[in-house]
Amino acid sequence: MQSKTIAIIGAGPSGLIAAERLAEAGHLVTLYDRMPSPARKFLLAGRGGLNLTHSEPLDLFLSRYREARDWLEPAIRAFPPQALRDWADGLGQDSFIGSSGRVFPRAMKASPLLRAWLRRLDGLGVTFASGHHWTGWADDGALLFRNHDGAEIQARPAATLLALGGASWPRLGSDGGWAPLLASRGVALSPLRPANGGFTVDWSPIMRERFAGAPLKRILIRFAGEEAASEAMVDAGGLEGGAVYALSAPIREAILREGRATVTIDLRPDQDGARLTERLAHRGKGVTLSNHLRKAGGLSPVAIGLLRDAAKGPLPQDAAALVALVKAAPLTLTGLMPLERAISTAGGIAASELDAQFMLKRLPGTFAAGEMLDWEAPTGGYLLQACFATGVAAAAGIEAWLAGG
């Protein structure tokens, strides 16, 4: 195939993997990004352990994408979790499966992988144009950028890939500023909403002042027939953390629809209710209920505080009633924490706007990938997997389109 010039806007995982594939095919690729260096959010995500993907069976893995499964499935099957692991291994960043089934590089950080990746891209001749903020199109269809000096730059590539991310963590580059640019071209967008984010709670003053920042460990949250076991963190304004994020999609939609959502929290999912009742049935003389819950019930001070908020009054003295509350403490979530605090973004370019090759039907020659598309998934490796897979799929789509097919 004759070499063609390709512009990729957005230097996150989707854009970088597409650049790699297209440069390997012999094309002249320029990566434009408004930040001074690539993959800022990717680096931040990897500080606490870069969760690349997950090792669970593929059918179960695909179910994590909920309503977006049908149209994401071909891309993920074409570049499945094992392919992502093989790719990381090929960069010298051997991966392993953790006890939870999540997959990590041995170094546990994003920075060594990114350095090796950038060296590979440099060797393939990929050009990086950092400090270039995409501002739309000129009347003749040229891409318009404003560089760090404020000068306008134009580019006329043979094909363009948009991989600008969502709108969470805008200080790292993904601010959703692309949405009005595409909307002005008639591209249908679902509203950008927080995914894997926290929710507000009207805590009592004691919870808000004493327990802000305290973890709720080994809990199980239930909502609308679904459940998630993990940890959560009490925030002065609400609740966040892994167990909350896993159910964030149905909780968010209920709040947007009804103004609030009530979840139930099992504060001792490791304890059978009957056994716990037996342990709490006999309280020693002079032992406060809080100390009894702590010593006999194994509850932390923050868990006891949450119980008191859930009871909306004095805690039951009867052991069976107390255990019923411990095993299903109701907590009303009153709103969404801001999008800029969320881990990822729901909404974006509607699937109906894309053809099977991830090209925008209204903008021939312009493709899209990654988090700016309308899908969401929980944490656990599903976010990065879909970003990589759609980047690979869009690169294949660009090659097919340039070849005339």
pLDDT tens digits, one per residue of 71-89: 999 999 999 999 999 999 9
Note whether 216 and 279 are same-domain residues.
yes
What confidence tens digit (pLDDT) does each residue in 167-215 have? Answer: 998 999 899 999 999 999 999 999 999 999 999 999 999 999 999 999 9
High-pLDDT (> 70) share of the chain, %: 100
Note whether 98 and 165 are same-domain residues.
yes
Domain containing 212 equals 199-336
DSSP structure class, residue 191: E
Note whether 220 and 365 are same-domain residues.
no
Note whether 54 and 180 are same-domain residues.
yes
Note whether 14 and 85 are same-domain residues.
yes
Residue pair 253/259 in contact by the 8 Å Cβ criterion: no
Of 73, 77, 9, 4, the closest CA to residue 363 belongs to 9
**Stated pTM of the model:** 0.93
pLDDT by position in tens, the chain (length 405): 578 999 999 999 999 999 999 999 999 999 999 999 999 999 988 777 899 999 999 999 999 999 999 999 999 999 999 999 999 999 999 999 999 999 999 999 899 999 999 999 999 999 999 999 999 999 999 999 999 899 999 999 999 999 999 999 899 989 999 999 999 999 999 999 999 999 999 999 999 999 999 999 999 999 999 999 999 999 999 999 999 999 999 999 999 999 999 999 999 999 999 999 999 999 988 999 999 999 999 999 999 999 999 999 899 999 999 999 999 999 999 999 999 999 999 999 999 999 999 999 999 999 999 999 999 999 999 999 999 999 999 999 999 999 985
- Looking at the structure of the chain, the number of domains it has is 2
Give the CATH number, domain containing residue 368: 3.50.50.60
Residue pair 362/368 in contact by the 8 Å Cβ criterion: no
Residues 6+ apart with CB under 8 A from 94: 88, 105, 106
